[in-house]
Each structure stands twice: as structure tokens, then as C-alpha cells.
Amino acid sequence: MGFFDKLKTGLEKTRHTFTERIEQLITGHGKIDEELLDDLEAILLSADVGVKTTGKLMQNIKAAIKKNEIQTADQLKPFLQDQINSILTGGETDGGKDYPAPFIIMVVGVNGVGKTTTIGKLGHYYRQQGRKVLLAAADTFRAAAIDQLEIWAGRTGAELIKHSEGSDPAAVAFDAVQAAKARKADVLIVDTAGRLHTKSNLMDELKKIRRVIAREIPDAPQETLLVLDATTGQNAVNQARTFGDVVQVSGVVLTKLDGTAKGGVVIAVKEELGVPVRWIGIGEGMDDLRPFDAAEFAGALFADK
């Protein structure tokens, strides 16, 4: 199965609450009226597209109707697909190819979103490209995180920089940057603690890690990825706001898209926060984390069964 087919299958639950309901709505209405538009708005909200983004989409639909760009109900679906593609376009990752080595990725997110697994899969992706990868176990507060990352390093052939449990995360980051330079690594991926995002000491810790990295390599980390669990819907958007206030999130990784009916959160994250979705996870396999492609996502979301 190619990735598009996997994506299409992975988005099945979202498609059921979103595009299939739109299809049913259109089939039941010969003409566009206020009732149809109200029902369409409710469908968008139920798929966790978000209040702000839904408002923008409805505004654009009404403007297109006034201009006679949309004349029949069956023109709504392709119009929405184009709109969503347009919102999501821009910010796709090039995997750090434009940056000198080491390309440093700092990964943040609360516990339970699949952060450490995501780092392992990112490491695998870069290793598949023939790049030398270092992983830094800077989540020193959870012993399982260090052990888990060590397993992923073994699986993917990446090298691991770690200290003992409870040690200073910034010290791990410092040693990892030094090792990346000395060993001529192409990519360094830094794990961080994922305790409650409302805790100010955690946020201070993230700032410190970032400062230490930037002191050793100007403009690094070149990417700060926030891992979000797509199944949490709008709560994921709230997490992104909190982290974005502290660590200058440059992109989002959305995991567990295959297990949710709330895939519309992809659109909400980009439109409401201005943060691009860089990677998406649509399965448990090593290859099921891929760079995000807006046109591919919109195509899979609106694809026929």
C-alpha cells in the first residue's frame, strides 16, 4: 500500500464525520439555502476544524456564492477542498537539507502524545536517507523515556547521548551538540521532558535547553517540533498555544491521525496558530511518520471510498 492509500485509510474516521457527511448534506439539498449552510458549519465544527477556521471557510463560501463562483450544492465540496489545501499549503519540511550539519531538531510535547516514538521514527526517516543521526535523551525525569530512546537508537542505527536519570537536561543537550560536531552528525534530535505543559519550571527548562543549544551553534535549534495527539482535537490547539508562547515552535507533528475522527485539527493548527504541520503519523510502523504534504492530505480527506 502506497502512502496516499495509507493516508486515505488513516483518515477514514475523519472522512466519515466530515466529507461523507458533507456529501450526504449536498445530496439532500437541491439548492443552497441557509439551512444547508448552517448544517455545513456544524459539520466543520464537529470535525474539530475550529471556530475561527470554520468562520473563515463559511465566510469564503458565502462570498463565492455572491460572486456566482458557487451556484449549486455539489460545487461546495471541491470548493472546500481547494480552500483547505490553500490553508495548509506552505511550511512543508525539506528535512533540513538547506541547513549546514548538524541540523538540530528540538522536540517538545506533553507526556502521552507519542513524543519519544516520534523521535525514533524521525531518526529512522533520516537514517533511511543515509544521514548520520544522533539522539539526545534530555527527558531525564522519566527513566522510561531514556530506555525507550535507547531502544529506538538500536533499531534505527542512530547514536544516543544520555546521562543518568534526574541529571540536568541542558547538560545532556550540551554534550549532544558537542558530540554532533565532533562526530560530524547530519542530524541531532533532542528529546525533552513532557510533564504538564502548565508547569512553569518545565517551560523554564525548555528555554534553558534552547539557550544552551543556541550558544554552541548560532541559529540552532533550526527546528522546534511540537508533537500533538490528533485524537485530542481542540485540546491539541490549546497545547500548541502554550508551548508556542515559550519555545518558538516552528512546526507541528500530528500523531495518531489514523485513530481519530478529529483530523480537522490539522487545519485548525495551521490557520489558528500560524504554525505549519511538518509531519504526520498514520500508523504504528517505522515508516508511518512522513513529511506533511498539503495537497496529498486534502486529496485523501476528500477522496471517494
Cα–Cα distance for residue pair 109/135, rounded to 1 Å = 16
Which helix or strand (DSSP H or E) is residue 238 part of? Answer: helix 234-247
**pLDDT tens by residue, 4-55:** 788 888 888 888 888 889 999 988 877 899 999 999 999 998 888 889 999 9
pTM greater than 0.85: yes
pLDDT tens per residue, range 244-287 = 777 888 999 999 888 877 888 888 888 888 888 999 988 888 88
pLDDT of 99 over the 80 cut? no
pLDDT higher at 56 or 201? 56
Which residue's entry shows cell 477556521?
A: 53
What pLDDT, in 10s, does the model give residues 190-247?
999 876 555 677 778 888 999 999 999 998 999 999 999 888 888 888 888 878 777 8
Q: Span 75-94, mean pLDDT?
A: 86
Phi then psi dihedrals of residue 218, to 5 deg = -55, 145
Cell readout for 138 is: 534530555
Find the mean pLDDT for residues 105-134: 93
Q: For residue 272, what is the enclosing H or E element?
A: helix 265-273
Helices (H) and strands (E) in the chain, counts: 13, 8
Note whether 191 and 135 are within 8 A (CB): yes
Whether omega before 221 lies within 30 degrees of 0, making that bond cis, reads yes
Half-sphere exposure of 67 (CA within 13 A, CB side): 7
- Residue 212: its pLDDT value, please? 96
